[in-house]
Amino acid sequence: MNYNPKSLQAEEFISHEEILETLRFADEKKNDRAYIESILEKAKPIYNPNGSLHCGGLNHREASVLLACEIPDLNEKMIKLAEEIKLAFYGNRIVLFAPLYLSNYCVNGCTYCPYHAKNKTIARRKLTQEEIRQEVIALQDMGHKRLALEAGEDPVHNPIEYILESIKTIYSIHHKNGDIRRVNVNIAATTVENYRKLKEAGIGTYILFQETYHKKAYEELHPTGPKHDYRYHTEAMDRAMEGGIDDVGIGVLFGLDKYRYEFAGLLMHAEHLEAVHGVGPHTISVPRLKKADDIDPTQFDNGIDDEIFSKIIACIRIAVPYTGMIISTRESEEVRKKALSMGISQISGASRTSVGGYTDQERPHDTEQFDVSDQRTLDEVVKWLMDLGYIPSFCTACYREGRTGDRFMALCKSGQIQNCCHPNALMTLAEYLTDYASPETGKCGEELIEKELATIPNANRSRIAGEHIKSIYKSNKRDFYF
């Protein structure tokens, strides 16, 4: 089937034949030093005299050559370039969020997920609005400001009305100085009308993982349920954008199929969104298949080691320089540390992947979607990030100021987003330190803020941010942002 990034047909913008041709091309060029050096040169960020930034990224073929590259010194250059691009677009900020599981009822038969309909050993649970309220208060008491809603696909237990009511509940809860300011939503592919309702409910990003771009493998991995429909699932982002959602997040579950195939498909999806809607993915996630209730990841023979995983992250950052990149607590502290420098800009902290997990003292395992490798508290994660030289950010300002979709991308691609994001990150960190941090984390954070205020290029913004931070420290005034 002909490859056409502007097509709205899944098999044409994710063309199987084009991916196979891309993999052949990458194998042919993977030891071509001159060609790989030309790709790396093309991908470098360029700073214009007016202070703006240009970084054009790479197409799926060029990026696939980088991923296949076997020349050690060029692989090292690649890693350094990914670090440079990450700093150019996102600075040393890392945005923090937490997943909130509403329900694990599901009618699908996905062979890699413990929520699948035939699993009789997992405890099924759906939160009431009062239980959601208690979960949100528990998350606010940690210091979280941004959530990602998760729910299985079940038209009876989890209809769109339930999701919409839950979003309304979450936004209504003001506990002490706590507020959830942005709710992202990760639910099954749905209709344009339902996406319109989600937009009207005030969601941030709509997130949907493709799981695998290999159509035949996709249909085998999803033998029953509505998710079996490859085309409907793969075309979901186009319907979401038609419904008015201008920030969408994509990702694959690495380990289901061959990673080089998935990588090419992922970038083709990003190219498609850019070609059709003028806006690529707001975020790209990189989950890896993990152990869960009745799922043994060793049953799948496409697992990838930590070195390949890190290289995938670096190559995505180089190819799609503007996108936010997310790594979850599926991964260990060690893996996440390495990934941060290579391109990751968002991480989850103190996550619980069970339904109703945040209100329980002990971490429950009976409703978990997958094992959590990084089980540290949010305070420990915040302190760890600062010790590594990063600014933990709880900022949600762009969404609330209307800097979404093409407006966000225009600012991000030019590098101008930093004039908003850097001071906003520092002000939200000051809120966290004042309201939630341990004394040790608080001391470390105050020193970091003082140092970072001096690095804000715009002197007026630096002065105003400093004044707002003093107000945060001394009073209950919150939610300052540019």
Q: Three-state DSSP class for 198?
A: helix
**How many whole angstroms separate alpha carbon 356 and alpha carbon 342?**
33
Residue 98 phi, psi (nearest 5): -140, 145
| Alpha-carbon 180 to chain mean position | 17
Q: Which of 286, 290, 381, 370 is nearest to 324 (CA)?
A: 286
**How many whole angstroms separate alpha carbon 210 and alpha carbon 13?**
14
Two structure tokens written together for 346: 């968002």
Host H or E run for residue 242: helix 236-242
How confident is the model at residue 297, as a pLDDT? 59
**How many whole angstroms separate alpha carbon 3 and alpha carbon 271?**
12
pLDDT tens-digit map of 64-80 = 999 999 999 999 999 99
Two structure tokens written together for 475: 């009073």
Tens of each residue's pLDDT in the chain, 482 residues: 689 999 999 999 999 999 999 999 999 999 999 999 999 999 999 988 877 788 999 999 999 999 999 999 999 999 999 999 999 999 999 999 999 999 999 999 999 888 888 888 888 999 999 999 999 999 999 999 999 999 999 999 999 999 999 999 999 999 999 999 999 999 999 999 999 999 999 999 999 999 999 999 999 999 999 999 999 999 999 999 999 999 999 999 998 889 999 999 999 999 999 999 999 999 999 999 865 555 565 666 678 999 999 999 999 999 999 999 999 888 989 999 999 999 999 999 999 988 999 997 765 555 555 566 788 999 999 999 999 999 999 999 887 888 887 778 777 777 776 678 999 999 999 999 999 999 999 999 999 999 999 999 889 999 999 999 999 999 999 999 99
φ/ψ bin of 278: left (φ > 0), alpha (ψ from -120 to 50), beta (otherwise) = left
Q: How many CB atoms lie within 10 A of CB 273?
A: 21
Beta bridge partners of 288: 254
**How many whole angstroms separate alpha carbon 30 and alpha carbon 9?**
31
**How many whole angstroms separate alpha carbon 269 and alpha carbon 210?**
10
**How many whole angstroms separate alpha carbon 124 and alpha carbon 112?**
17
**How many whole angstroms separate alpha carbon 451 and alpha carbon 441?**
15
Host H or E run for residue 99: strand 93-103
φ/ψ bin of 264: left (φ > 0), alpha (ψ from -120 to 50), beta (otherwise) = alpha
Instruction: Show the CA angle centred on residue 205, arms to residues 257 and 127, nearest 5°.
Output: 85
Q: How many CB atoms lie within 10 A of CB 459?
A: 8
| Alpha-carbon 128 to chain mean position | 27
* Block residue for tokens 């939200």: 428
Amino acid at 19: I
**How many whole angstroms separate alpha carbon 129 and alpha carbon 134?**
9
Beta bridge partners of 211: 252
Angle between the N-to-C axes of helices 160-172 and 129-142, in degrees from 0 to 180, rounded to the nearest 10: 40
Two structure tokens written together for 338: 């390495």
Instruction: State the pTM of this model.
Output: 0.94
Two structure tokens written together for 19: 């991916």
**How many whole angstroms separate alpha carbon 303 and alpha carbon 258?**
8
Host H or E run for residue 354: none
